[in-house]
Structures are given as C-alpha cells and as structure tokens.
A and B are shown apart, each in its own frame.
Chain A
C-alpha cells in the first residue's frame, strides 16, 4: 500500500523501512522553484514535486524583523542583532544585540507566545496535515546566542574567559526555544527540526569539551521536550562532526542531517556505526553535484547514497544543506526523479552488506 509523505518521514525517523526512500528539503530557493514551476506557491511546489514533508523555518516563518536600512537590506532581528541580506533567504548577522555584559541586565527577549508567529505553521497544517510531514523548527541555542546575542568573536572568547556569560545568554534563548517548540507541537507539527552548525569543514567549531559543556545540554533539553510531546527530532549541522558524533547521538536525536560530504563525512561509514540509532538524512552534494554537474551525475550520486544508507530504512534522501539559489533547477528535478525511481523498497541496488 502506498504510504503518505508523513508516514514515510516518520517511519524513516524511527529507523524503519517506508514504502520508498522519503525526500524533503530544509528549503528550496524561490529561483529554483520558479524555474521548475513558474507561478506556483511554495505549498503547490511541495505538492507537485511530491516532497514528503516541509520544514517551517523559524527565521522566515516566525521571527520578527524591523527595517534599519532598506537600501542596504539591513534589518534588526527579534533578538536585537543587525542582519544583512545578500543572495540567500537567510540574513547574515553584522552586529550583535549584546555589546557589553551589563546590556543583559535590561535585555528583553522576544515573546514566543505571540500568536502571529504560528500563522505560517497553521496554514501548512491546514493544507498538509495527515498527508505530508509538517515539521516544526527552531534554530539551535548555540547559533542564536552566538550570532544574534553576543557575536561570534565575543561568544568564542567568553567560552574560555567568561563561561557564566555563555550560560546566561544560552538560557535566554533556550527558554524561548522550549516555549516555541511546545507551541508548535501542540498545534500539530509532526516532527521537530533543530538547525545550527556545530562544525566546520575540518571538524567541530569548538572543542569536544566545550561542545559538551555549552552546546549539548541545551540540545538535549529541546530533544527531551519534543519527545515528551511524542514527536521525533532531527538535528542539522553542516561540517565534519565525527569527533562529536557520539555526543550528538546521546542527546536522543532521532535523525541527523546532512552527513556533509563537502566536509568529508562518509555516509556509508556513519550508517555502519550509527544506523541502528540514527536516521540519516541528506548527503547529496549541493555545493558541487547539484550546482554544476550533469543530471546523470546527480542520478549516480542519489543511487550511491541510497545504496549506502537506504538499506533497512532510516534514510531520508536530501541535499547536503538546502536547494539554494545556485542549484541547477534541472539537477534538483533529476534528484527528485532518481529518489522516486531508485528508492522503492525492497531496494534493488545489490547494496546490502
């Protein structure tokens, strides 16, 4: 029997075999969508292309911004940081909210209970609930506290020189996120995505000791809340996470995205080591393959990924980050076709160890 998209995603997140390898994305850029389906809304695109779910990205759907300098595309985000928009949907922080530690004493965080924040989620639920996975989302505490509240450099320095300051800012963001997660799940979200990089191409951004001290506890608390509300969680982090993978698994996450091939992460190796405990997601290279290689090379890469990680279920085939504006639309279409063609269970790829 054919499964619905939400059934596929939930089966895969539970490390089980769906009817076919599921597919969704953290985001598909407007230019790519427009090239493939001119005039279609995002929801129509998801339906027509047959994506099994969609992540309702907090920075786009539920954060507030005020314009500071529209000619330079500079805005103040809801945490008080200045962000500038370039070629991508998400802005880049250029000035943090907290410039001196004493600014924190009178800092007023945003209110996660404002109902307008959930309008987008509600409209996705109205359209797709029970059919495709509608996935709640928060940007991780480390990401917001570092980028919006303190700024990269001050955050990294304080990890060594003023750890109590990190605890304070992390706590502010964690309180917001926990409330946001609860609200989103109570409205009917099927799963939770937590994004925010913990690693770079060469390895973790901060030492395993600092990862354990400052990053993992907040992630664990968010995962525990979602689990207590009966929804699975996946974590997204670019980069090479090999050195902190055990810690990530210990937080209880159900899935990990994107097993970054550009950072040398080996999908087959991660499947062998963690496939019983983690649903693996992603790995189709959006830097090279989807951006400038041929559609045949895209097909081969999808085949290889399904061969390495699809056996026994527990794999969601996705790009290695998102379908950004530099992805060739034909390559994305070829990727979706290949997943549908090659991803049917039982898999016919002679791949099983």
Chain B
C-alpha cells in the first residue's frame, strides 16, 4: 500500500497533476507515512524523473513548470506538519540572483523552482543585484552554493565583478559558485573563477548537488 501510494505520487509529479498530487500527499499522511519519507520516496523521485526528461529533451518548459508546481503544492501540505514536529527537510542552502544591470528573471525563476523541488532552501535576491549586496548576503547567511544569473552579453562582466568583489571581501571560499544564462559558457565560468557552469535548470540542480557533496 505504502509503495503504491508513493509510486502514485511519483507519477503525479511526472505528469504534473497538481490536484492529485495534493490529494495523494494527504492520503499518504493519513495512512501514517512520515513527511520526510513521502518527500524522499515519492516526490523527489518524481521531480528527478522530470529533470531527466527535461535534460533529455522530452520535456519542455510547460511540462517542467506544471510538475514543479505540483511538487511545491505537495511540499506546502507537508512542511507545516514537519515544522510542528520540529523537523525540516533541506539538502542545502542556495543563494541566487541576477547580476547588476540585468533585469531578466525567467531563467533564474525556473532554476529556483527546480532547486526547491529537489529539497534546496533557496534565497532569491532578485534581479539587478549589485556585487555588494551579494557579498553581504554571503557574509550574513549560511549558503552552500551561490548561483549567478546573467542573461545578457553586456552584463557578463558584472558576473566577473561579483566574484572579484567576493574575493576582495575575503568571502570567495565561503561558497561554491555556479553561473548560468544564455550567453554563458564553461569557458567563461572558468575564466572568471566560478566553480561550475550549468546550461539549464536540471543541470543546475545536478551540479549544485555535486558541489555540495564535494564540500561536505
């Protein structure tokens, strides 16, 4: 019974059936399954499968968004119960923002959705973020990975300036740095001293996990 409802949840996430996801999540909890178990054995396998389907070109942005929303809806059901029990579920802390001069956010928002769906606690500083704001967030917070988004060729130098500002503030080694955005390449990431480049939301999730594993 347990296995079957967790399988159903996984399918619901893959198919982006939000209402069913919420219904089965509630049912699973009523059956006595622990929130963490539902997340780890039902929801996360579902969203991982979605990520893989996106990575292999079978899923596109609409499918990714609808599945991500289903995942979030399920987490909203589970989280209050977890926090009541003094539990939480988070694989790591991710800080993200779009660099100064750049006001694009769709790519960043999709990355955030996928990260949250995969259990990350995400702090979003928004768009047009100056280097000093990133620095103080890293200074004050406890972030494992810092993701820089730049959608425009003209704002790519701002990514380099952000990393330079972290170096000057002595904060560079506090976080692993990832970078993404249409004009960015691995070559550029290496040049400016980022740890990883991710070409899309799913690759961002996979590489963030790898960076986290390396640093622990």
Contact = CB atoms under 8 A, between A and B. Distances in A.
Interface of A: 84, 86-88, 92, 94, 152-153, 156-157, 159-161, 200-207, 210, 238, 243, 262, 286-287, 291, 324-326
Interface residues of B, number: 26
B176 to A, nearest CB: 23
A84 B127 CA distance: 11
A153 B57 CA distance: 19
Nearest to A291: B153
Interface in B102-159: 102-104, 106, 109, 128, 152-156
Contacts of B200: 201-202
Interface stretch (B26-34, B61-69, B83-91): B61-69
Nearest to B58: A207
B199 interface: yes
A207 B57 CA distance: 9
Contact of A157 (B69, B101, B106): B69
Contacts, number: 72
A278 B148 CA distance: 38
Contact of B109 (A153, A159, A204): A153
A156 B57 contact: no
Nearest to B65: A156
Nearest to A159: B62
A215 B53 CA distance: 22
B128 A86 contact: yes
B182 interface: yes
Contacts of A262: 182-183
Given A94-B103, A201-B182, 18 more contacts: A84-B103, A86-B101, A86-B102, A86-B103, A87-B155, A88-B152, A153-B106, A156-B62, A156-B65, A203-B57, A203-B60, A204-B60, A207-B62, A243-B57, A286-B153, A287-B153, A326-B152, A326-B156
A123 to B, nearest CB: 29
B42 interface: no
B70 to A, nearest CB: 11
Contacts of B104: 92
